[in-house]
Structure 1
Amino acid sequence: MSTGENDTIADETVEPPVENSSTNRKQPFPQGFLDTISTGWAERPDTLPAPRAQATYAERRRAAVSAAFPGKRLVIPAGSLKQRSNDTDYVFRAHSAFAHLTGWGSDAEPDSVLVFEPTHDGHDVTLYFRERADRTTTEFYADATVGEFWIGPRPSLAGVAADLQVATAHLHEFAAVDGELVLEEDESLTRFVSELRLIKDDFEIGEMRRAVEITARGFDDIIRELPAAVAHARGERVVEGVFHRRAREDGNGEGYDTIAASGPHACYLHWTRNDGTVVPGDLILVDAGVEADSLYTADITRTLPVSGTFTDVQRRVYETVREAADAAFAAAKVGVRFRDVHAAAMAVIAERTAEWGLLPVSAEEALDADKGGQHRRYMVHGTSHHLGIDVHDCAQARREMYYDGILTPGMVFTIEPGLYFQIDDLTVPAELRGIGVRIEDDILMTEDGPVNLSADIPRTADEVEAWMARLQR
């Protein structure tokens, strides 16, 4: 942030700052400024917005929470700004449960609190947040954290009430009742709101589709800019930056740190340093997802041959991963256990790695639940996770509702098998070392079976090569 000489909270006093004090960056305001800063401003328009599309859905979610906790007072905080360094903060992102129950997305206000007050027939629900400050207050010009002179206009209570269709009140009113805003997490509430997101409503599904569509454009951008990545000493950063531009232009940003892992880096599952070269002849694994302004995110992985074509060995590994992904997709049916999707993918991984002579046991032995697992050396992660307003959504759900849960229409989850042969793994032939492949798609379960929301992003080796050739003409 750079706003000239005075870019921190300013004192109202005309006295100079105390030498060697912790406030030595605060600059005094002259009396003329103090006498005139509150005058000469146009009236703010008071037109109320129409309710946003998500408001009706959020109201239904709140009703479900209210019904599940009769007579209990519930407090769901948005969270606060988190310090990055000294007087700079990370970009604010509201807690997922708060965003889900209010409908507030990327425009949510820090320190807001959603409160369910029990009544004889349910709950009165109020959203407390810091109301915009009158321009006669010092906060307007002197507080760099919340002052509108610094961060721009803040929403009004009436405007948010109309927008989100929920009662609003100033945060001070909540603080006056509750004292300090220190809230203990309620395990049962946390679990319930997490499990509430297991089944997506129509609004959520629409946002997921939109996030996937933008992400697809981001992958197109990456392919077009691969020559620039090859030419740069830190080409992985070029790939990351290209995707970031699309995510910020068409969405709120990325839903998680982009993985742009080229060559041997593709074997590190959460490689986010992205400081390596992009070398012709290698593969680059890109795991990236755009987060929409509603905070719903895609999560997609494609593995691309930097030169535009796969070598025979790379193609063999790639098509094996695709075979595993297709097997998992075929296993995803209404009424099937969620973990059976993973089992279908792992059966392929075990069969192929045994066939290639990489396992000390047979595929059948490797798949033994108690004594097996030898194939997991080359794919240690799970095949699927729920997806939505969190990239790993519904993570606080009970095991019997998540891993052992039953696939139900409205669920959205990933299918993302992989094979990773690390550069120094002596259990595999030299030709495999340094090859990492993952293919990840976002799946919507419907009454008629699974729908691949990201199916328009090329998946087969032949399709990927044709895709790259078309975009790099």
Structure 2
Amino acid sequence: MADSTPVDTVAASTTPATANRSTTPTSSTFRDYISSSWAERPEVTPSPRPQAAFAAARRMRLAAKFPGATLVIPAGPAKVRSNDTDYPYRAHSAFSHLTGWASDTVPGAVLVISPGDDTPAVLYFTPTAGRDTEEFYANAAIGEFWTGPRPSLAHVAADLALETRPLTELAAPGDEIIVLRGVDEAADDLAPAGSADAELLRAVSELRLVKDEYEIAEMRAAIDATRQGFDDVIADLPEIVAHPRGERLVEGTFNRRARAEGNTVGYDTIAASGPHACILHWTRNDGPVAPGDLLLLDAGVELDSLYTADITRTLPVSGTFTEVQRRVYEAVREAADAAFAIVRPGIRFREIHAEAMKVIAAKTAEWGLLPVSAEESLDPDAQYHRRYMVHGTSHHLGIDVHDCAQARRELYLDGVLEPGMVFTIEPGLYFQPDDLTVPEEYRGIGVRIEDDILVTADGAENLSAAIPRTADDVEAWLASLRS
């Protein structure tokens, strides 16, 4: 990559780490020359993007929870990865949810929602700089020569159906100010910290518990793209198996699809083969993918809207399950199906996990792995079966892979299901390679099946049901894509 050394006169305010390496010309002759002879750029005024109306409705609902208060929701600045290189930028989820500005957000933008019957909102950001400014060519952090042109205030106002102003005009916007803290230090400085700040953090999370029409459509699209990524991995299995770090190839193949169809992956891909499948969040992905092993692939495509899928399938690398692998796999699927069967409006979220655990306890007891009966193991003071599945069965899903994470317990784990909620069902069984409580034939087997579920008016829909789930269908899937 190019050496991001800014011109001396702007170094201190942009990237001071490179000030001692600056070679950008500073003569007036150069400045006059680089500022001249540029073609005109016609301003194109877009129609509002589809999510704009939904974002406006969300702002109204949020403002109603804080009457008389001004709410400050920052997108957040770019985050440094190493010296003068940044991580790929992603706006804070609450900001994108409330503005509709997603993968194309200008870093450092701030949304301000003022009190009032019509809930006026203003979006502050740094608009594009003129070619007669030093920033244009010399500012490695935000200059057009370095990072590309930013949109104008008018363009974003039309695109998002929001009033826009330069970030330089942002000041303490009222008497009662509540800031979404910890996102942007500059925004935090607009008002002293208060007890209502924690309430705002909860509120923006709880606002996403029930998805609107736009969000559900995005979830469907993210799942469709994820299915393509799984197909790609299966098609590449011969090359993957041949490489000593085949898990890396699995990750790369899926990530390629995620970048082609969306913004990126929704979370670090878990490409866990063999005993690595027993490590719940295995993201090192540096092991082989060996014939005879199972490949646990937990991955999701994040669209440009930032909505993500979260799917897990466990694949027999050789194309067919062994008898023991199939036994474990079908037990996990039975647990998933049992959990899905009870999903409907009116039940409590925690009941989904309890239903899956009945099957996990029954199966591990049937195989002689528990020192007590399944019924005794299900007692809250026992839980022997949880040795083989220590994680929960479900989490909400949407613009974050673990969406609504700051919601109150009474609205999340103990919450009542409503139409429009989207969450995962993902039971698993994991028999560590050195676990002496299980027969040797089970050791090193890890299986998880994860689907994305939508609560409907009278039940539920498995949004990812088209991705093969049964052992027979998975084997047929592999055969069809590898032939």
| TM-score tier (shorter) | over 0.9
Report the equivalent of 2:177.
none
Check if 1:115 corresponds to 2:112.
Answer: yes
Check if 1:237 corresponds to 2:248.
Answer: yes
Q: Distance in 2 between matches of 1:176 and 1:189?
A: 17
Report the equivalent of 2:181.
none
CA contact (8 A) 2:6 2:19 kept: no
Amino acid at match of 2:188: V
Check if 1:47 corresponds to 2:47.
Answer: no
Check if 1:61 corresponds to 2:61.
Answer: no
Q: What does residue range 427-446 of structure 1 map to in structure 2 within 5 Å?
A: 427-446=437-456
Report the equivalent of 2:273.
262
Report the equivalent of 1:29.
25
Check if 1:213 corresponds to 2:224.
Answer: yes
Q: Distance in 2 between matches of 1:41 and 1:129?
A: 25
SS class of match (1:329)? helix
CA contact (8 A) 2:275 2:446 kept: yes
CA contact (8 A) 1:12 1:28 kept: no
Q: How many residues align?
A: 461
Q: For 1:197, which of 208, 218, 227 is the aligned residue?
A: 208
The CA deviation at 1:181 is 3.2
Q: Distance in 2 between matches of 1:176 and 1:300?
A: 43
CA contact (8 A) 1:12 1:29 kept: no
Q: Distance in 1 between matches of 2:18 and 2:45?
A: 43
Q: Percent identity?
A: 67
The CA deviation at 1:115 is 0.5
The CA deviation at 1:392 is 0.4
| 1:68-97 deviation per Cα after TM superposition (whole angstroms, max 9, x unaligned) | 111011100101111100100001101111
The CA deviation at 1:175 is 4.4
| 1:379-430 deviation per Cα after TM superposition (whole angstroms, max 9, x unaligned) | 0000000000000000111101000011110000000000000111111110
CA contact (8 A) 1:424 1:433 kept: yes
Report the equivalent of 1:416.
426
CA contact (8 A) 2:72 2:187 kept: no
- Which range moves more in the overlay, 253-262 or 43-52? 43-52
Report the equivalent of 1:393.
403
SS class of match (2:312)? strand
The CA deviation at 1:177 is 6.4
Q: Distance in 1 between matches of 2:386 and 2:6?
A: 54
SS class of match (2:170)? helix
Q: Distance in 2 between matches of 1:95 and 1:292?
A: 15
Q: For 2:391, which of 363, 370, 381 is the aligned residue?
A: 381
CA contact (8 A) 1:67 1:122 kept: no
Q: What root-mean-square deviation, in Å, do the aligned CA atoms of Structure 1 and Structure 2 show?
A: 1.5
The CA deviation at 1:361 is 1.1
- Which range moves more in the overlay, 445-454 or 293-302? 445-454
The CA deviation at 1:136 is 1.0
- Closer/same/farther in 2, CA of residues 242 and 335 from structure 1, 3 Å limit: same
CA contact (8 A) 1:367 1:373 kept: yes
- Give TM-score, length-normalised by structure 2: 0.93
Report the equivalent of 2:188.
182
- Which range moves more in the overlay, 167-176 or 89-98? 167-176
Q: Distance in 2 between matches of 1:177 and 1:353?
A: 59
CA contact (8 A) 1:133 1:140 kept: yes
CA contact (8 A) 2:4 2:84 kept: no
CA contact (8 A) 1:324 1:417 kept: yes
Amino acid at match of 1:144: A
Check if 1:366 corresponds to 2:367.
Answer: no
The CA deviation at 1:176 is 7.7
Check if 1:284 corresponds to 2:295.
Answer: yes
- Closer/same/farther in 2, CA of residues 30 and 405 from structure 1, 3 Å limit: closer
Q: Distance in 2 between matches of 1:71 and 1:175?
A: 18
